[in-house]
A and B are shown apart, each in its own frame.
Chain A
Amino acid sequence: MDNIKKTELNHLQTDLQDEMSHNRQCRGLLVLAMIVTLISYLFFSGHLKLGNPLYWGEYFNKGAVTITAFWFMLFSVILLGVFLAWVKHFAYSHFTTYRAIAGVMVTLIGFALLAEMFAALEDQKAKADIQLEGNSAYQATIQPTVGAITASPSLSGDIGAASQRVARCEENLKRGKEKHCEGDKAKLAALEKQQSAALNAQVAATEATEKLRFDRQDKMKADAHNDFIVGIAKFYAGIFGTGAENGYVAYIPWANITLMLIIAIAFERLHAFLIEAGRNIKGNIRGIEQRIAQLQEGSNPLAEGKHLPPNGSPLFRYQEPVKDGGFKQTGIGFTAPVGNKKQGFVGFIPPGHKAPERETPPAAAKTLEPAIKDDAPVLFEGGGKQTPEQREWVLKEYARRTGQTYRQELAGGGKAYRDQALDAPAPALPAKQKAGGTGLQNPALGTAEQHFPLPIEEPEKPRVEPRAELAEKPRVEPRARGLLEPDENHVHAVANEPVKAQAAEARDGADSLYPEWVVAVRAKECRPTVNHSRLWIQRRIAPTMTGSKTNDLKRIDAMRKGFFARAIREGLMQLNANYTNGGKKYLWVG
């Protein structure tokens, strides 16, 4: 095992240990979250069915039937709490692995919030009650402060005496001893009126006192809540209230609801995060272990460089050598000389190369005889890569000589594909292969036979010497995933069979990263999200990325974007039309 493999293995082992440590922490936190969830749901079901647990002792004072019913209810409370907590945990695990169903998610989280708020609000109330029990000021308000409403004793005596006098007067009036009793009657009426007024005053005073007492009690109950809740209530009162001094007391329940809602949402989010983090860690551990196994078995395609082209020479910038050296123009540009050829230039075809028979000459070719003479100068010299400008010049120069464009050629019935713009000048295909011709043709220059009639009499005296400095040198810097050593011999890379084999391999996508990513997504090993895919790419390329460039987040994300763009074009992925903040931006449909 070479040093690079050993180093990579060491790094992977370190990463694996880190991930295992994270996994242990995550599992511990998940257990804790599950317990908290269970307690929360137990409180919820307890409050729902049996009331506040602080007062459950009352059930035991009501006789055997009530006690039996209490135990049955408690059993159902526990079952309901365990069921709800378990379902929630399972659902969160499920949705972090598979696609979430919006309706179920809303129901689950909505119910969780409701249950947690329900229990928490009951707890807040009970807590306030308990605190007030030991509050002497509050206890003072409970004591009656106003005595019973009573009539004045002296006034009652006066009314009694006045009534007696009126009765005596009326008796004397019957006997003729009195002329009238109006004076006594008026005095009695005045006394009675006075007593009634006194009693009404006492009632009014008692009412006012009681109202003050109850207001005081309400305020103390409200103030028994946390200052934060009181603050929220005052905030609500400032916005919605009437401006009364103690108006915030009416908003204490809303403040409670607000605070409990915030707490419940935060708890739910953290719980979901833990499960999601657990999934990520598991995926990372699996990936690292797999890579370690690959390295240890020596079958890692990355380390072996199997995924790379046969050498560092780009596929589309080579020239296919013929037996004794030479050049074949590929569809794109011009490239380097290969082999140990001593003569020739771009477009040169050695003698003896037999051309395959062309099945049907293009119709256009029948009318467009090449106008280039055998002694015409070559259009492009040298083995270096042709720049777009050079290539365009070559095309135009040829068109100037032949007067033909690609579009014209197609309109004339030509079926040959040309790597050029439709309106750019195009060379004509030979109407008929010359005897002994190669059949090879230069898309830019046309057939080689037209430029250089075969056989070449003196190949040792090339008309244009190939420029060695333009020859493409083998790539020596390792690419991202392999080619650990420069390939001295890049000739084998340009043989026809390796090219086709590599093309087939590319189609199979056995060793390239994008198909692997697609497979990983389909196998649920990588979620088709921005973060997961970025992490997956980072994990895959980090051990072998030896270039000078640092794979910062921006570069990794650019790679991820490239993958997503291709997946979208191939119909594997699509943008989520219903995307909202926090939701899934991309949907995997492949």
Chain B
Amino acid sequence: MKKEQTEELFVKWVDGRLNNEEQSQLDELFAADPELEAELTGAKEVTAVLQSEIPKSVEPPYPDFFNSQLMRKVDLEIAAQRPAEKAARWWESLRWAWAPVGALALVLAFFAGQRMSPQGNGGLADRGTADSSEKSEELPNVYFAEKSLTAEVIADADGNVSAIVVEGITAISDDIDFARADRTTSLPARYLQSEERRLQ
């Protein structure tokens, strides 16, 4: 069997697209080389895990940068493997099949990074009580001026934010009468700039 045909068999097997005839051809190859079957089984498991973890519709962030970094990684990998290539068995040259797996891994790493954020006292609130489904992607972050504050983001049935409960804010003095203008302290500079701009 030609090298191209066997490579196609491997890819189809990993993707679960083999017909009966192709399956029997592959079984013969596995019988001849049990190590080959173990390696391809590993690749199939990794692919299945990644596909189950990552939504198919998600676009990679900053696609140009993403693609250039991915191609750079692939080039480096190929360059690093060149001296050993001669000694490697022919089916080990099937490294291109790992490119989509690498791409999925990078996307997964990006999402994992997005989901890791300090909780409460770190100055950034959690992203709510909703589960980690697609719905919670639109829940806001809360940033605090003081570390003593905490916040809980509450989502409605549609997954949209409906309330933010902030705890630890300094209580307002009971003596304050909101009906009177308070002239004892200066207003925020940004407020004054905004008013000036509005009145121009």
B is a partner of A? no
